[in-house]
Amino acid sequence: MDYPLPVTEPVKLAPDTFLITNMVQLAPDQFLPVNSMLIRGEEPIIVDTGAPIHRELWLDQVFNLVDPADVRWVFLSHDDGDHTGALHEVLDLCPQATLVTNFFTTERLRIERPLPLHRMLWREPGECFDAGDRRLRLVLPPIFDGPTTRGLVDERTGVMWAVDSFAALAPGVVHQVDDIPRDMYDETFAALNSLVSPWHQWLDPIRYGLHVDSVEAHRPAAVASAHGPVLTGPAIHDAFDLVRDMAGRPITPPPGQPMLDELLAGVVGV
């Protein structure tokens, strides 16, 4: 069964900072977030550009909040399609914007369509760039599915963009972790984060724990991600602890043929 795209609205995370929300409905009570972010500020920053399926909805949300002519930065966390869906449209509509990414993202994307090298700034984890009234620091998130992935911390507001870390399904069009039943959060968090990073089964818990510690040490005031709810307060440490505990553990088995048979029979909708 095909569901219509849910109607969503931006969610304010901090002053001048908005989660650009979109979702894909998987079943009557299962929704997958597909988020990105906008920081207006003195030099507005678009953080990732959504998925192709949401392109028009995404463009409407973003450019109802900021004039394309005012955008100065586009941060691209990595080259997956659900983060690059409106990238070229944004670059065309925002002629003053500089694209912040890295060498490997550039190389991987150029086999499909070249990027404007003269409008790019390459940065790696631990490095920063200044955007007028704030400084943005790049981090390597604790969970990721591609080698190009880089997260972001706004040192002014403490908002962290965790990219594909901390994914979880929602029971409806809700965006806060407290609006997700705990059993649903725990189950889908374990499944989605394992699917995104199956390499966790080979990790040394001590070494990986040190990396997770280094990311949490930025002490984010709020954590936003592409495929999970907004985390604040104790939920932030809880999420970091959940991924710490994944090190060295078996992967969560992905759905197989029985689920496909159910989908094809119309028992479960997608």
Give 145-184 pLDDT, tens digit per residue: 999 999 999 999 999 999 999 999 999 999 999 999 999 9
Tell me the pTM: 0.95
User: What pLDDT is attached to residue 266?
Assistant: 65
Domains along the chain? 11-265 (3.60.15.10)
Asked if residues 168 and 192 have their Cβ atoms less than 8 Å apart, the reply is: yes
Tokens 């806060």 locate to: 176
d(CA 263, CA 208): 37
Average pLDDT on 97-103 reads 98
Average pLDDT on 229-234 reads 98
Cβ-based neighbours of 12, under 8 Å, separated by 6 or more: 18, 19
As separate numbers, helices (DSSP H) first and strands (DSSP E) second, the chain gives 7, 15
d(CA 165, CA 186): 14
User: What pLDDT is attached to residue 228?
Assistant: 98
Instruction: Print burial letters for 169-207: b (CB count within 10 Å at least 16), e (below 16).
Output: bbeeebbebeebeeeebeebbbbbbbebbeebeebeeee
User: What pLDDT is attached to residue 109?
Assistant: 96
What average pLDDT does the structure give for the chain?
A: 95
